[in-house]
Structure formats: C-alpha cells, structure tokens
Copies of this chain bind each other. A is one copy, B any other.
Amino acid sequence: MNKIITVGREFGSGGRELGKRLADLLHIAYYDKEIVTEIAKKTSLAESYVHQVMEHNPTIYYPITIGHSFYPMVNPIMDLNNSIYVEQSRIIKEMADESDCVIVGRCADYILRERKPMRLFVYADMQFKMDRCRKKAPSDEEPLSDKELKQHITSIDKNRSKYYQFFTGQKWGERINYDFCINTTNLSIKEVALAISRMF
C-alpha cells in the first residue's frame, strides 16, 4: 500500500504550501487542483463549474426534510453534484493506488480511510489568515476591506465544512478525524514540513 498524506486546511492557513513542501521533501506526487482538472475531463464539465460545486456552492447538496421524514433532493443538479463526488472519489483512489502522494482537500482523508493515510489539518488565527491572503492576492486586484476579507475567508471555510460533512458524515476540522492538527500562526511552515516529512 502506498504512503499517503492528506491535508485538510482552513482557507489562508498555508495548508497548500505545507502539502507542497511535504511532497517536494519526500519526492512524491502532489495533488490539489489536478483533481478538479481530472474530474472536468472525465465528466466533460467545465473546470470552473467543478471547482464551483466543490468549493463554493455546497448548499445545493443539502437534502430537504419534509415533516419528520428525510428525503434526498432528487433533481438534475443534485444528481450532477453526486456524480462529481463519485468521480472525485474514483480519481482520488486511483491517485493513491498509483504512488505515494500528498492530496490536499477534497475529503481525501475520508475517501482513503481504508488506506490509513496520515491525515493533517492545517489552521490558523483569523489575523494570520487575513495577512497571508493579502500577501498572496494579485497586485492588480482591488483590495478587500478587513470586514470583506474576513467574510470571504469565513464563507469559504463554511462551504468546505458543509461539503465535507455532507459527504463524510464527519465534522470538518474536528481533531479526532485527523492525526495532526497544525496551527500555522506561530510556526514556520518550512520547519513543520521538515518535521512531518521525517515521520513519513
């Protein structure tokens, strides 16, 4: 069985950087946006649509409750979203079967649970995440106000949380679902990557 590291991460916490550094240090494959590209290829959907479904509009996954009974929302959008998740699971399992790798996001910790990945969750203080987002923002973009940026970060994480909970039945970021939870606020991501890589 290949060795797998999965990285759940709060938006702006540096989780992607940590995942990338780990993959580079260990000379193993790194999958992040590649998963979206692969799903788009397999489903003939636009990458931007797949990304939208996976990150920005998970409320439409939500099942509806009528009275005390529970009915899944049966409609074409729901079917499509489920198809994307099924395709995502298949692709992630293929990637994990192919070689040792780091996979960022996409419920990979849950999808690969039988392969016993090392499951990381990366988080940070809001101020740290805001500062990091500002540094990473394209210079030609109108900067958001503090309030807007905070709302943006909170909203992305809320959607990730809903998406994760819907498909895994687990709570996103809850420590028992991970092996290491790493707060990047006061730590050097480079050093954390080095330390974790030595345990792999």
Contacts and interface: CB of A to CB of B under 8 A. Distances in A.
Contact of A125 (B125, B173, B176): B176
A179 to B, nearest CB: 5
A123 interface: yes
A191 B199 contact: yes
A26 interface: no
Interface string A167-185: 0000001011011111101
A77 interface: no
Contacts of A182: 179-181
A198 interface: yes
A116 interface: yes
Contacts of A187: 179, 199
A200 to B, nearest CB: 10
Contacts of A183: 175-176, 178-180
A180 B179 contact: no
A191 B125 CA distance: 28
Interface in A131-147: none
A73 interface: no
Given A175-B173, A180-B180, A181-B181, A195 B199 contact: yes
A153 interface: no
Nearest to A175: B181
Given A179-B182, A180-B181, A187-B199, 13 more contacts: A116-B186, A123-B175, A175-B175, A175-B181, A178-B181, A178-B183, A179-B186, A179-B187, A180-B180, A180-B182, A191-B199, A195-B198, A195-B199
